[in-house]
Amino acid sequence: MTKEEIKKELRQRLRDTYALELEDAGPVELFYSLGGLVKAVSNEKWQKTWKNYLTEGQKQVYYFSIEFLPGKLLKSNLLNLGILDEVRTTLADINVDLEELANVEKDMALGNGGLGRLASCFMDSIASCGLPGNGNGIRYDYGLFKQQFMDGYQVELPDEWLKRGNVWEIRRESKACDVHLFGNVYMKRLANGKLEPVEENQTTVRAVPYDTGMIGYQNGIVNTMRLWSVEIPVSEEAKYHNLGERRTIEDLTAVLYPDDSQESGRLVRLAQEYFFVSAGIQSIIRYYKKLNLPWHSLSEKIAIHINDTHPAMCVPELMRVLMDENGLNWEFAWDITVKVLSYTNHTIMAEALEKWPVYLMKRVVPRIYQIIEEIDRRYVMSMQGIHPQDLIQRTRLLQNDQIYMAHLAIIGSHSTNGVAKIHSDLLKTIVLHDFYVVYPERFNNKTNGIAERRWMQLANEPLSDVMDELITDSWRKAPQNLKLLMNYQNDEIALKKLREAKLVKKEELASYILETTGIQVSPNAIFDVQIKRLHAYKRQLMNLLHILKLYFDIKDNPEIDLTPRVFIFGAKAAPSYSYAKSIIKVINEAADMINNDASLQDKIKVVFLPNYNVSLAEKIIPAADVSEQISLASKEASGTSNMKLMLNGAVTIATLDGANIEIKDAVGDDNIYIFGLTEKEVYNYYENQDYSSQKIYDEDEELQRILDAFIDGTIPNIEFEGQEIYDSLLKFNDEYFLLRDFHDYARAQEQIDHDYKDAVLWQKKSLANIANAGGFSADETVKAYAEDIWQIEPIFAHTEKEGTTNG
Ligand code: CBF
């Protein structure tokens, strides 16, 4: 689009919708008008894309995820449509700042953390690689809570992201379908002797899809993310004259469960899971039927991915739809189901491996429960004589009146993958070892990846510009080409440019910190960043123990030669996770104590930025010098902030956990700071049961002083929380081995302090991280999924910018 066309379109939209002239419009009207314009531009491509899939009979993947975390879409859509610069300069001509408009948009925060953000990076990459793929999830009325701090405590406020409407979505009422919950089911024998399920007294709800275009990077492809919202069907209206009952139904898609680590055990959550699974499967089968193909070809046209166990009911639901609604027999339906479905495991944390009580499943989805029982029965039968009884019992779906959802996903699909090499290995050797014995061919690894477009091109323009200048802009399409930067390792001018680009983002973040927290930080200090959900295994607390060490070091020796450092945290704790909330409180109180102690001479500062979300991540990540990836080895499945931070030139301090190991292999030992127990050493402790935090404490004066600070009044206002944390480390034997890893962590931190003083040395390390981040592109990850698991191929699309085609 030319500048004139953009202006003309904007003028028209402002007049039509708001009765305003361009010059009189405020940021909100401008944002919605620009959003509408962007949507109109992409709609044409969207229509072409799906028609193309239909006429070409392309096999498509449907990515089922209970969480998506896209963040804001305006700039990302402009970038992917190839009109970001044109729009920016057009707006500048009329004295409007694109950033101001972009800020009007609310983050679409329909996820908790890594899992949901991964799903959104995948959506971007699937479209950008020209792959036929769709998202399937829930359109929550309220996204992840907004976090505020009051007296250092986390306070959760509702996230009313839909208050002003969502400019990107299209409500597709004609594609709605009914989902049935509750009631009872019995088997009736027909005249021909066959058994048929009869379902009675069900509650029927209407699932209405809202579609959002997932725009590929300058390739003319627009895929669909379909999010389902619940409504009361017109035919059922009369039943709901009682407002309370009405709300019960409408609340089904009201809130995102703000807890990604603990099975909440709530009826609504189970109903949510079935709701989006059933609606998604029904709409896929409706589409497939339009193709007029035999059932046995279903797996040649459709792949369905189960992202973590929340959509595991895809297995029985697909069986139900194939058998009950389309008359297929069990064996045929099962064969198709296994071929169509695949599953990713995202955690080994026992509490996050979903198990549902049988009574609840029976109550919420009785027919689904029947099918699950039958899958279990047939599984146990089919394994007789092949595997030992104890293994069969350990791997079956139904155990102790619970349904093991991971077992359901593995048995009912053809592929199970982990999300980093170490994680996939742990699945095979320990966590899911029994299943690996049963189905070795089903297990594989797909290391996570990130969308460089958002995390570099959009989030970090100064660095992107330096890249263009040094290695040409080919990296924008092919992130692998970032590798070319290695040629500049010894080029002082290039290193200086990289340093200057980093400084720009650090200055911006310093201003943001001052604005939001009132804390003044120097952009010349090391910006040391830990951003992720607050969880004990991620060990934000160990970071704090080290900060307290530095605090005491400076107190003891005010002349100590420390490189000034700002420790920056961003993290939300699940509202029900009181220990994590206590950690937030103590970090905030310690921060207050440190930031207001003039005797520390600004050598250390601590900033906990509230309301960590995608947009805040886009501010913090480009400004980071140090990336904290310090989970206890074996606990973090992969991590993805580690990849985003390295891409932006932060150097990682890490345990050998998750994708940190692959990052270490990519950048080399000199460009990462590794410390701590290995996963084997951790498991040795488990086996030998010989870990004693008390013993470590008793023999270590430095740790005594640091831990005592939690209970002796050194850190003020934490009587309860300080004791709780102190006890967790000593009385309850320090579940995540913080004390064991502490000194090695402090040693690695000291090395960072030392190396940062040598600006050239540090910049070289930073450069090596940027240059090797291309290997962690989600484009590569989704291509691997497409080839190995989904068996889908890229569509032949027109690349608008270059007027060429890609395959
Ligand atoms: O695979 C994506 C991410 O998922 C989690 O956030 C999850 O919710 N299970 C893991 O904790 C991360 O390690 C992982 O990167």
Q: What is the mean pLDDT of residues 701-721?
A: 98
For ligand 1, whether the C-beta of 660 sits within 6 Å is no
Query: 145 near 572, Cβ under 8 Å?
Result: yes
Question: What average pLDDT score do residues 44-65 get?
Answer: 94
- pLDDT tens-digit profile of 530-565? 999 999 999 999 999 999 999 999 999 999 999 999
- Domain count of the chain? 2
To test ligand 1's pocket by mutation, which of 118, 614, 660 has the most ligand atoms within 8 angstroms of CB?
118
The DSSP output letter for 103 is H
Look at residues 228, 171, 213, 219 and name the one whose alpha carbon lies nearest to residue 39. Answer: 213
Ligand 1 atom nearest residue 640's Cα: 15
Q: Is the CB of 309 under 6 A from ligand 1?
A: no
Contacts of 742 (CB under 8 A, 6+ apart): 542, 545, 546, 703
Q: Calculate the dihedral angle through the C-alpha atoms of 233, 238, 239, 242, rounding to the nearest 10 degrees.
A: 110
Residue 291: per-residue pLDDT: 93
- The alpha carbon of 383 and the centre of ligand 1 are apart by a number of angstroms equal to 32
258 lines ligand 1 (CB under 6 A): no
For the Cβ of 211 lying below 6 angstroms from any atom of ligand 1, the answer is no
Q: What is the mean pLDDT of the chain?
A: 96
- How much is the pLDDT for 262? 61
Same domain for 236 and 194?
yes
The reply to whether 17 falls in a domain is no
For the segment 205-223, the average pLDDT, to the nearest whole number, is 98
Both tokens of residue 632? 């206890």
CA atoms within 13 A on the CB side of 729: 26
What are the backbone dihedrals phi and psi of residue 142, each rounded to the nearest 5 degrees, phi first? -120, 130
The tens digit of pLDDT for each residue in 169-182 reads 999 999 999 999 99
Comparing 53-57, 607-611, 630-634, 653-657, which segment has the lowest mean pLDDT?
Answer: 53-57
764 and 795, same domain (yes or no): no
pLDDT at residue 802 is higher than 50: no
The helix or strand, by DSSP H or E, that contains position 399, with its residue range, turns out to be strand 398-399
Across the range 287-295, mean pLDDT stands at 96
Q: Is the pLDDT of residue 798 over 90?
A: no
**Are 548 and 706 a contacting pair, CB within 8 Å?**
yes
Select from 347, 351, 657 the residue to mutate for testing ligand 1; criterion: most ligand atoms less than 8 Å from CB.
347
The answer, yes or no, to whether any atom of ligand 1 lies below 6 A from the CB of 565, is: no
Q: Is 692 among the domain residues?
A: no
Cα of 423 vs centre of ligand 1, distance in Å, is 11
With 90 as the cut, is the pLDDT of residue 670 above it? yes
747 and 802, same domain (yes or no): no
Tell whether 135 and 266 lie within a shared domain. Answer: yes
Q: What number is the average pLDDT over the span 700-720?
A: 98
Mean pLDDT of 133-160: 98
Q: Is residue 266 predicted with pLDDT exceeding 90?
A: no
Q: Of all residues in the chain, what percent carry a pLDDT higher than 70?
A: 98
Residue 498 pLDDT > 80: yes
pLDDT score of 801 more than 50: no
Is residue 43 situated within a structural domain? Answer: no
Give residue 773's pLDDT. 98
Residue nearest (by alpha carbon) to ligand 1 atom 15: 639
| Residues in contact with 214: Cβ distance below 8 Å, sequence separation at least 6, in sequence order | 123, 124, 126, 127, 135, 222, 223, 224, 225
Residue 36 has pLDDT above 60, yes or no: yes
| Residue 113 beta carbon below 6 angstroms from any ligand 1 atom | yes
Closest CA to 233 of 181, 281, 184, 177: 177
pLDDT > 80? residue 804: no
Q: Is residue 706 part of a domain?
A: no
**Whose Cα sits closest to atom 8 in ligand 1?**
115
User: Of 151, 125, 155, which Cα lies nearest the Cα of 61?
Assistant: 125
Q: Are residues 502 and 641 part of one domain? A: yes
Asked if 329 and 470 sit in the same domain, the reply is: no
Indicate which residue's Cα is closest to atom 2 of ligand 1.
115
Q: Which of 55, 129, 77, 116 is nearest to 790 (CA)?
A: 129
Residues 614 and 654 in one domain: yes
Q: Ligand 1 in contact with 637 (CB < 6 A)?
A: yes
Residues forming the active site: 346, 532-533, 538, 640, 644
Distance (Å) from CA 770 to ligand 1 centroid: 22
pLDDT band of residue 243 (cuts 50, 70, 90) is confident
The region of weakest confidence among 234-243, 638-647, 724-733 is: 234-243
Mean pLDDT over 708-723 rounds to: 98
Q: Ligand 1: does its nearest atom lie under 6 Å from the Cβ of 111? A: no
Per-residue confidence at 242, pLDDT binned at 50, 70, 90? confident
* For residues 63-87, average pLDDT: 98
**Mean pLDDT across 651-665:** 98
Tokens of 182: 């509750």
CA pair distance 616, 610, nearest whole angstrom:
9
Q: What distance in angstroms lies between residue 637's CA and the mean position of ligand 1's atoms?
A: 6
Nearest Cα to Cα of residue 628 among 641, 611, 615: 641
| Ligand 1 within 6 A of CB of 115 | yes
Pocket of ligand 1, candidates 69, 112, 115: which has the most ligand atoms within 8 Å of its Cβ, to mutate? Answer: 115
The pLDDT of residue 350: 84
For the stretch 747-784, pLDDT in tens is: 999 999 999 999 999 999 999 999 999 999 999 999 99
Q: What is the pLDDT of residue 263?
A: 61
The domain that holds 648 is classified in CATH as 3.40.50.2000
Of the chain, the end-to-end C-alpha distance in Å amounts to 25
Name residue, tokens 């606990």. 635
Judgement on whether residues 234 and 267 belong to the same structural domain of the protein: yes
* Mean predicted confidence (pLDDT) in 773-796: 96
Checking if the pLDDT of 796 tops 80, the result is: no
Asked whether residue 683 is assigned to any structural domain, the reply reads no
Name, in order, each residue with C-beta under 8 angstroms of 48's C-beta and a sequence gap of 6 or more.
Answer: 220
Q: What is the mean pLDDT of residues 656-675?
A: 98
One-letter amino acid for residue 717 of the chain: N
Any ligand 1 atom below 6 A from CB of 260: yes
pLDDT at 290: 92
Q: Please tell me whether residues 161 and 214 are part of one structural domain.
A: yes
Q: In 3D, which of 406, 403, 399 has the Cα closest to residue 347?
A: 406
pLDDT (mean) for 90-97: 95
Same domain, 762 and 802: no
Residue 799's pLDDT is what? 42
Instruction: With respect to residue 699, please indicate whether it lies within any of the assigned structural domains.
Output: no
Range of the domain at 771: 452-674+742-776
Question: What whole-number distance in Å separates Cα of residue 738 and Cα of residue 307?
Answer: 31
Mean pLDDT of the region 678-702: 98
Average pLDDT for 493-518: 98
Which helix (H) or strand (E) covers residue 608, if one does? strand 604-608
Residue 178 lies in a domain: yes
The secondary structure element, H or E, covering residue 754 is helix 738-756
Query: Would you state the pLDDT for residue 353?
Result: 86
Q: What is the pLDDT of residues 420-436, one digit of tens each?
A: 999 999 999 999 999 99
Q: What own/partner pairs with CB < 8 Å and gap ≥ 24 does 471-476 have?
A: 475/774
Whether residue 714 is contained in a domain is answered as no
Statement: residue 604 has pLDDT above 90: yes
**Do 333 and 460 sit in the same domain of this protein?**
no
Same domain assignment for residues 116 and 245 = yes
pLDDT value for 502: 98
Cα 267 to ligand 1 centroid, rounded to whole Å: 24
